[in-house]
Structures are given as C-alpha cells and as structure tokens.
Amino acid sequence: MAVQISNMTRTHAPKPILIGALPLCIAALIFAAAVSVAFGAADITLQTVWEAIVSFDKTNANHLIIQTLRFPRVFTAMLVGAALGVTGAIMQGLTRNPLADPGLLGIESGAAFAVVMGIFVFHITSLPVYAVFAFAGATLTALAVYGLGSLGRSGATPFKLTIAGAAFSSLLSSLTTSILMFNQRSLDEARFWLAGSVAGREMRLVLEAAPFFFVGLAAAFLLGRQMTTLSMGEEIARGLGQHVRRIKLACAAVVILLAGSAVALAGPIGFIGLIIPHVVRMFAGVDYRWALPYSALLGAVFLLLSDLAGRMLVRPLEMPVGIMTAAIGGPIFIYLVRWKVKR
C-alpha cells in the first residue's frame, strides 16, 4: 500500500550533477551562516564578524553579541537543520512512505508531551531542563513506537511502523493538548517552546549537544549504502544478503539520536524533515549515499535562512523558526511539486 517514492523522479542522477552540486550546497551553507551571523536586530558588518572571531574584544558590544548570541544560534540552526533533513530521508526510506518524517516515530509529540508534563507537574522553566525532558520523552516514545511496530512475526514492517507511529503521536499530542487546554500557566509557559526556536540557546548547551549530532550524522552517512538497498524493498534487500532487521534497527537508532537531539535543542520543528528529502530526491535521485549528505546540507541551509527570515520579517519581534520553516517551505514545496511530479 505504500506509495513508491522512486516513481516521482528518475532513480539515478548523472554523476556530474551529484558531484557538481556539492560545492554549490557547501557554498550556500557558508553564505547562509555568514549572513545569519551578520544580520539581526543589530546589523553587523562581516568584517566585525571576522574580528570577533580572530581578535575577540570583551568590551565591544558587537563582538559580545556575535559570540554569545549569534554564534550559538547559527550553530544550533545548522546542527538541527542537518539532523532533521537526514532523519527525514531515513524515515521516508525506512517506511517507504513519502508522508513520513521524524515525527512519525513520535519523536516530536513525545518531546512536547514530556516538556509540557515537566512544566505542568514539576514547574520546570529553564531551557537546558526542557532539553533533558525533551530528549527523554522523544527517546522513550520512539522506542515504544518501534517496539510496538515490531510486534508480530514479520518484524518492523513499514506499514506497522507507520500505523504505530501515527497512533502514538496522536495519543501524545492529545494528552498534551488536554493539559494546555485546562492549565493556562502551562500554555503560557510552553507555547513558545512548542513553536520551535533556535534563539537564546547558550553556547554551553550547544557544545554539550554537538557530539550527539556529529555521531548521529556520521553513522547516518555510513548507513547510506545499506539504506539504498533497503529502500528497494525488504525482499530485494534480503535477497541481496542484507541483514534487514539489523539495518533497520541501526537506522531507527540513528533517527532517535539525531531527531531526539534536534528536538531537545530547538523544540519541535516540523516540515524540514518532510520536504528536504523530497527536494533532494528531485536532483540527486534515490541513492542514499548522496541523498543523505545533501539532505543534511540543505536542511541546515534551509533552517538558517528560515531563522534569518523570522528575525528580519517582523522586527523587532521574532518569529519562531518552527513557524517560518512551514510558512516559507510550504509554498516553495508546492511549486516544486507542481513542476516536478509528473504522475
């Protein structure tokens, strides 16, 4: 019943495109990062940015802004964007469903539920504590979903994973909603976090989270070849001698690590995990050795730019980036789909 993803586009992109797009994407990432550091409530020249890196001056307000506000923010956006792009690609390959995203394992709803419970029951109020709750909630939920989806003889089939994930996410978001509905304090405290944001994260928190991301990304890229095989269908993968069960477990572990860290650091940010893999597939095909790195790069670029737009659009207010990703990404995505999806 799963819709095949591969019929949307040609299976293999020509090598020159695959290799040629890489420097372009990297350049885009560097550009987006530089612009994100420079622009914001206070506009700072790129030269000052450079000075703040090489010869940091504690008394210079601009240097302080860059070191304590902009850098953590840009790093957060890059890490979270890359993680979400990659996990989206893995989830869509794993479930062979173009509607899948990291949220399908219940990661976002689990994190949201844990944080709202934390606020409601334990009166927690600080971002690092939110992060711990979010990561724990995400991990537990994802494990539960994967466990439930693997019940029965045939193991974790795409269909069962999909259904278990949808059911569990729906359950948890309902519980979250009911808390928010009846408890105004929780609503007030949680609603900004729930919109997803990369603002105001301290450098220490970002640095503590960074290893999780790097390990997860590296593991994901290593799995690229196996993912390609698996995405052709389980029977074929098994026929080719793959340990399907192990590979699926490894994929799920990577998704939990990456998406869990992302939601811990930035709150639930939807849509990136959903559309970036689609966009990547349009030019890079379904070879995951390429699709995964591209998903990471484009995810990071997209999150950086969305965050920048959120800062510039409604100055002096700031739009949470979780809102911006969907607001900007939605129309772009519709345009791409109209243009590219032929049947």
Partner 1 sequence: MKPEIPWAVYQTKFFSLRLDRRVPWILCFLSLAALILFVLHIGVGEYYIAPFDVLNTILGKDLGDENYRFVVMELRMPRAILAWLVGAALGASGAIVQGLTRNPLASPDLTGVTAGASAAAVVFIVILPNTPQGWLPLVAFAGGMFVAVLLYLFAWRGNASMSGDSPIRLILVGIGLSAALGAFVSFALTFGELWYVQNAIMWLSGSVYASDWADIRSVFPWILICLPLAFLTARDLNVLNLGEDIAHGLGAPLTLKRGFLLLLAVALAGVTVTVAGIISFVGLIAPHLARRLVGSLHEGLIPAAAFVGGLVVLLSDLVGRTFMPPTEIPVGIVVSIVGVPFFLYLLWKREKV
Interacting residue ranges for partner 1, rule: CB under 8 A? 1-3, 7-8, 97-100, 148-149, 151-154, 157-160, 162-164, 166-168, 170-171, 173-175, 177-178, 180-182, 184, 187-188, 191-192, 194-195, 270-271, 274-275, 278, 319-320, 322-327, 329-331, 333-334, 337-338, 341-343
* Cis, peptide link before residue 316, omega less than 30° from 0: yes
- Contacts with 112 (C-beta within 8 Å, 6 or more apart), sequence order: 134, 137, 172, 173, 176, 194, 267, 268
**265 or 326: CB nearest partner 1:** 326
Q: Which residue number, 33 or 308, has a Cβ lying nearer to partner 1?
A: 308
Contact 259, 105 (CB under 8 A): yes
* Sign of CA pseudo-dihedral 165, 171, 172, 176: positive
Least spacing, CB of residue 56 vs partner 1, in Å: 35
Distance CA 19, CA 282 (A): 15
Q: How far is the CB of 323 from partner 1 (least distance, A)?
A: 5
Which amino acid makes up residue 226? Q
Of residues 63 and 186, the one with the C-beta less far from partner 1: 186
Distance CA 133, CA 139 (A): 10
Smallest gap, in angstroms, from Cβ of residue 91 to partner 1?
A: 12
∠116-121-125 over CA atoms, to 5°?
Answer: 60
d(CA 56, CA 258): 32
Least distance from C-beta 99 to partner 1, angstroms?
5
The nearest distance, CB 274 to partner 1, in angstroms, is 6
Q: Which CB, 28 or 164, lies closer to partner 1?
A: 164
Of residues 117, 138, 264, 114, the one with CA closest to residue 183: 117
Return the number of the residue (126 or 184) whose C-beta is nearest partner 1.
184
Tell me how far, at minimum, the Cβ of 60 lies from partner 1, in Å: 33
DSSP 106: T
Q: In terms of CB distance, is 63 or 96 closer to partner 1?
A: 96
Tell the smallest beta-carbon distance from residue 36 to partner 1 (Å).
Answer: 20
C-beta separation of 116 from 285 below 8 A: no
Q: What's the distance, CA 85 to chain centroid?
A: 5
Residue with smaller CB distance to partner 1, 240 or 332: 332
